[in-house]
Amino acid sequence: QAKRQGAGSVAIYDAAEELLIREQRQERLEIADALQRDEFQLFYQPQVDLKTRRVIGVEALIRWQHPQRGLLPPAAFLPLVAGCELEITLGEWVINAALKQLMRWKSSGIDVPVSINISPQHLLHPGFITQFQSLLESFPGLPPGLLALEILESATLDDTQAALAVLEECRRLRVDVALDDFGTGYSSLAYFRHLPVQLIKVDRDFVRDMLVNEDDKAIVESVVFLARKFSRAVLAEGVETMAHAEALVDLGCFLAQGYGIARPMPAADFPVWLEEWQAAQ
Ligand code: C2E
Ligand code: MG
Ligand code: MG
Ligand code: MG
């Protein structure tokens, strides 16, 4: 009796599990198809120096131009590929697309550094450096120093040794690395001094509330202080208003990115934005 019941509950669990797995498989197939049909697109968001007003780079942010559902943000589809082979495939597509765009801008006289988000899974994939290097080599004439990777703090925590090795390789390839969403992870603040990263990006949640919340302001202030102490550049993300920009400048944080400066835009819009930005200075 007990045995039969046990078997029954396993069967019910299996049915629900199977449905979920089938749905996920369906969604991943759709994403793989979308890749084939070239429905993914990179938007670019400017990063500026508030003091000199110089544009220091652009961050590539993936979008899915879905035939029925319209333009989808990464949160709508990246979680679906997390942990499977498709995550790597999509990551490689992103690197390739960003490099293509970088070269296109370069040949039209715009030398703008491009930064790319790399998922922890992709960064720590055993083939990452080999793949990355051969992608870089497929763009002869790529000027060094124009490409940067943005990685999450969490990527460096799960397997510190592996992460360090990859970051050292990036440095050898003369690719800068930024630590994204800084402050949201669980590492001690002193931990990052061992990491070969050139830029710290203060998470936008802290920046958003820094004008109304003393704690958030203190966090931003501490990160800026720490970055300076350890000779790293620091950039605030999520700068939505002039008041935010002014408060950041007061704290000594000059690099910024956010809707208050520019929203992420299609590549074709960037030269126009750049010209207007430069004309306004
Ligand atoms: P992230 O790397 O921290 O990127 C910044 C996110 O904040 C972007 O959202 C950007 O559109 C948004 N943002 C920028 N300024 C503001 C602002 O002033 N206010 C607010 N509320 N938001 C602002 P997005 O494009 O939806 O991307 C979300 C996240 O998805 C990214 O966070 C990144 O972790 C991930 N992601 C985006 N593109 C890629 C990609 O190509 N590969 C990988 N692996 N992850 C990506
Ligand atoms: Mg980022
Ligand atoms: Mg970020
Ligand atoms: Mg973020």
Give the CA angle between residues 232, 234, 239 to the nearest 5°: 175
Structure tokens of 56? Answer: 């220091």
The CA 9 to ligand 2 mean position distance, Å, reads 44
ipTM here = 0.98
For 62, other C-beta atoms within 10 Å of its C-beta total 22
Q: Each residue's pLDDT tens digit in the chain (281 positions)?
A: 444 455 556 666 788 888 888 998 999 999 999 999 999 999 999 999 999 999 999 999 999 999 999 999 999 999 999 999 999 999 999 999 999 999 999 999 999 999 999 999 999 999 999 999 999 999 999 988 999 999 998 888 778 888 999 999 999 999 999 999 888 876 666 677 888 999 999 999 999 999 999 999 999 999 999 999 999 999 999 999 999 999 999 999 999 999 999 999 999 999 999 999 999 98
Of all atoms in ligand 1, which is nearest to the CA of residue 116? 41
Ligand 1 is surrounded, with C-beta below 6 A, by 45, 61-62, 73-75, 78, 91, 94, 117-119, 150, 180-181, 204, 237-240, 257-259, 264
Q: Tell me the ligand closest to 61's alpha carbon.
A: 1
Which ligand is nearest the CA of 178, by number? 2
Choose the residue to mutate in 47, 61, 94, 184 for probing ligand 1, maximizing ligand atoms within 8 Å of C-beta. Answer: 61
For residues 269 and 245, give the distance between their C-alpha atoms in angstroms, rounded to a whole number. Answer: 24
Q: Which ligand is nearest to the CA of 42?
A: 1
Among protein residues, the one whose CA lies closest to atom 8 of ligand 1: 61
DSSP state letters, the chain: -HHHHHHHHHHHHHHHHHHHHHHHHHHHHHHHHHHHTT-EEEEEEEEEETTT--EEEEEEEEEEEETTTEEE-GGGTHHHHTTSHHHHHHHHHHHHHHHHHHHHHHHTT----EEEE--HHHHTSTTHHHHHHHHHHTSTTPPTTSEEEEEEHHHHHHTHHHHHHHHHHHHHTT-EEEEEEETSS-S-TTGGGGS--SEEEE-HHHHHHTTT-HHHHHHHHHHHHHHHHTT-EEEE----SHHHHHHHHHHT--EE-STTT---EEGGGHHHHHHHHHHT-
Give me the residues near ligand 3 (ion), CB cutoff below 5 Å. Answer: 180-181, 237
- Going from the Cα of 34 to the center of ligand 1, the distance in angstroms, rounded, reads 20
